């Protein structure tokens, strides 16, 4: 489906839009729908995972056996990693340092053992990153490392420096990739530790802990964000905010290290709904609209986006992000949507926003001088999801009209020549046939190019595969409906009445999987469908086919500024029947989903 934006004919509106875009670029870096580290430091031969807890600094090293002498200068080198571990335990000098001012802090605990490298995600490892044109190093070939865990007492210390083993050139003498967090709050993604780096710890609020080097920072660093999603059947406005800010706005005390207990969850649910409902009015096509539903979820930031906090997960309030979502049901795409943003404070005067429609994301910012989040329908040739009933195509044979006409002429000539009457009779017949030919010639140019003859119903595997794929795609379109009542109405065009509930339940497992952000995904494409088995059946007097099929699909989900996309391979038993001139699904049973 081809989509493109068309420019508004009004020069004045264009200039305003360009001005707002320029302001957003100048205010801060452009927001991204999703994030993958550009550094490739997660593939380094040596990895340091840094975690700040109450009064302590924990560092877990994965040290390559080949680089052990860089960390322990007097270690006895040996190809046996277990002997290397024994030698490392005897060493008194460890070249990696944690410093407070000029004073070096000694670890209070140290342990070393042989372990497997942790598996990490690096989509461009060993390849050229298409975003930068730089080849990313591959993962190290050695899978066993010296897992070295250190604990430093840093209670009351706010400013620290970590210093890697240094070379004579003033740079690190060994390659180290590191990531860090304070409690459950990320402080940085993966970066290379190529020189000493300083960081400041806020013991009261982990969100404010940061590296002084501004190039080392987490991707999700804004405490307040807005996301507007314009979809075929609904408008979604999502707000992501910190627990601390909500507590301050509603005059409640805040303790960053208090756990997110069930009681606190209930309190936050009620508080955020009461505070944000009607706080940022939404107008659709110049009409003030009320949300059809409201949702709240609890999330935590990670290096790639946001993850929903599970029921039994232990996490402190300072690391909790609240997701507040308002949904507005629509029957067709509107021409405009406006959100009147009113959440500004003395410390928050600029809020990142992201508008997402079928043509793509549009990042921006709102500020007190320009507080409106505005979307206008510049979509061209957009076609909404099609979940109409699938009409049975009757097989037919196409005969070109030229062949039929030629056959007619030949027949007339044969009849003329075979006439056994007298010569005058022949002449009379010839005149009659000539008139018929001339009349038929005039008629020929007004006839269709071909004549179709219906054939008895037949079905080949290829035809069954095409019909099944079309049905599955129409089911995917039906699942774009956000309201259950509308979804069921759409599905009744594609599923038989008998066994509807069971088929509906089984389809929902496939078509609405839960994603890492806690939202429900949808299927955007179906490919490589293969019919493994087919057998003709009769269900309640309707001709049908029992199939075993497999196919690949793409699961997509967009929420909280995060775009998640993953492949899904499904194998299922499907019964399809011909009912009232339409193809329908009579039974759907998943066999495997990967």
**Strands of 46-53's sheet, edge to edge?**
109-116, 144-153, 56-63, 46-53, 176-182, 185-192
- Distance between CA atoms of residues 479 and 521, nearest Å: 10
Helices (H), 375-518: 401-417, 423-444, 461-478, 484-491, 500-511
Instruction: Name the nearest CA neighbour of 575 among 560, 562, 585.
Output: 585
Which range has the worst mean pLDDT, 354-363, 375-384, 412-421?
A: 412-421
What are the angstrom distances between the C-alpha of 162 and each of 88, 97, 121, 212, 247? Answer: 21, 6, 25, 12, 34
The three-class DSSP label of residue 457 is: coil
Cβ distance 392 to 372 under 8 Å? no
* Dihedrals phi, psi of 40, to nearest 5 degrees: 75, 15
Q: Tokens 């967090």: give the residue.
A: 181
Which range has the worst mean pLDDT, 80-94, 270-284, 473-487?
A: 473-487
- 385-389 average pLDDT score: 85
- Distance between CA atoms of residues 76 and 83, nearest Å: 9
Write out the two tokens for 386: 């099609």
pLDDT given at position 410: 76
- Domains located in the chain, CATH noted: 4-31+222-380 (no CATH), 41-211 (no CATH), 396-454 (no CATH), 458-593 (3.10.450)
* Residue 474: CA count within 13 A, CB half-sphere: 22
- 483-487 average pLDDT score: 88
Q: Is the predicted pLDDT of residue 283 greater than 90, yes or no?
A: yes
Q: What is the mean pLDDT of the chain?
A: 85
pTM for this model (two decimals):
0.76
- 75-90 average pLDDT score: 94
> Binning pLDDT at 50, 70 and 90, where does residue 30 land?
very low
Residue 201: how many CB atoms within 10 A of its CB? 19
Q: Is the predicted pLDDT of residue 567 greater than 60, yes or no?
A: yes
Q: Is the predicted pLDDT of residue 594 greater than 90, yes or no?
A: no
- Packing angle of the helix pair 461-478, 484-491 (nearest 10 deg): 160
- 371-375 average pLDDT score: 95
The tens digit of pLDDT for each residue in 410-463 reads 776 676 666 555 555 556 666 666 666 666 666 656 666 665 554 444 556 678
The tens digit of pLDDT for each residue in 575-591 reads 999 888 889 999 999 99
pLDDT given at position 374: 96
Which range has the worst mean pLDDT, 111-125, 197-211, 282-296, 364-378?
A: 111-125
Q: Is the predicted pLDDT of residue 401 greater than 70, yes or no?
A: no
In the chain, what percentage of residues exceed pLDDT 70? 82
What are the angstrom distances between the C-alpha of 314 and each of 25, 183, 300, 320, 511? Answer: 38, 11, 11, 11, 31
- Distance between CA atoms of residues 441 and 437, nearest Å: 6
- Distance between CA atoms of residues 71 and 196, nearest Å: 15
pLDDT given at position 427: 60
Q: Is the predicted pLDDT of residue 13 greater than 70, yes or no?
A: no
Q: Is the predicted pLDDT of residue 130 greater than 80, yes or no?
A: no
């Amino acid at each position: 489906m081809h989509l493109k934006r068309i420019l508004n004919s009004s020069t004045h509106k264009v200039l305003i839009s360009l001005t707002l875009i320029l302001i957003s670029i100048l205010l801060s870096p452009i927001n991204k729908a999703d994030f993958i580290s550009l550094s490739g430091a997660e593939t380094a031969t040596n990895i340091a995972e840094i975690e700040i807890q109450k009064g302590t600094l924990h560092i877990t090293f994965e040290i390559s056996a080949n680089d052990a002498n860089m960390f322990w200068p007097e270690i006895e080198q040996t190809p046996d990693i277990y002997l290397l571990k024994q030698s490392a335990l005897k060493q008194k000098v460890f070249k990696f340092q944690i410093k407070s001012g000029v004073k070096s802090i000694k670890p209070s605990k140290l342990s070393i053992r042989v372990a497997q490298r942790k598996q990490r995600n690096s989509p461009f490892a060993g390849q050229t990153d298409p975003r930068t044109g730089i080849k990313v190093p591959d993962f190290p070939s050695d899978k066993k490392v010296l897992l070295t865990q250190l604990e430093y007492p840093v209670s009351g210390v706010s400013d620290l420096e970590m210093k890697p083993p240094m070379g004579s050139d003033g740079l690190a003498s060994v390659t180290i990739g590191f990531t860090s967090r304070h409690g459950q709050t990320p402080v940085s993604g993966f970066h290379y530790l190529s020189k000493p780096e300083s960081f400041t710890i806020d013991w009261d609020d982990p969100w404010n802990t940061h590296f002084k080097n501004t190039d080392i920072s987490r991707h999700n660093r804004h405490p307040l964000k807005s996301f507007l999603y314009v979809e075929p059947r609904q408008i979604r406005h999502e707000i992501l905010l910190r627990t601390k800010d909500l507590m301050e706005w509603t005059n409640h005390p805040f303790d960053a290290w208090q756990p997110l207990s069930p009681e606190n969850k209930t309190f936050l649910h009620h508080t955020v709904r009461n505070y944000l409902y009607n706080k940022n009015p939404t107008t659709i096509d110049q009409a003030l609209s009320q949300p059809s539903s409201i949702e709240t979820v609890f999330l935590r930031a990670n290096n790639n986006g946001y993850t929903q906090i599970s029921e039994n997960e232990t996490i402190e309030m300072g690391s909790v992000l609240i997701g507040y979502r308002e949904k507005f049901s629509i029957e067709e795409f509107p021409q405009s949507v406006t959100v009147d943003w009113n959440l500004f404070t003395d410390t928050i005067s600029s809020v990142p926003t992201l508008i997402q429609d079928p043509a793509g994301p549009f990042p921006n910012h709102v500020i007190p001088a320009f507080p409106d989040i505005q979307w206008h329908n510049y979509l061209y040739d957009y076609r909404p999801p099609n979940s109409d009933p699938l009409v049975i195509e009757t097989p037919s044979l196409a005969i070109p009209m030229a062949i039929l006409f030629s056959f007619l002429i030949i027949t007339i000539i044969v009849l003329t020549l075979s006439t056994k009457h007298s010569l005058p009779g022949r002449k009379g017949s010839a005149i009659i046939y000539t008139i018929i030919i001339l009349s038929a010639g005039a008629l020929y140019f007004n006839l269709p190019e071909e004549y179709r003859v219906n054939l008895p119903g037949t079905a080949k595997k290829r035809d069954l595969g095409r019909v099944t794929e079309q049905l599955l795609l129409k089911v995917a379109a039906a699942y774009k409906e956000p309201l259950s009542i509308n979804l069921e109405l759409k599905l009744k065009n594609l599923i038989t009445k008998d066994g509807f509930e069971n088929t509906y339940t089984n389809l929902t497992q496939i078509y609405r999987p839960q994603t890492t952000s806690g939202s429900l995904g949808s299927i955007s494409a179906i490919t490589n469908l293969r019919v493994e088995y087919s057998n003709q059946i009769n269900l309640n007097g309707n001709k049908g086919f029992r199939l075993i099929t497999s196919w690949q699909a793409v699961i997509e989900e967009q929420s909280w500024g995060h775009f998640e996309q993953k492949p899904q391979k499904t194998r299922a038993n499907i019964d399809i029947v011909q009912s009232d001139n339409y193809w329908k699904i009579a039974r759907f049973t998943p066999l495997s989903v990967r």
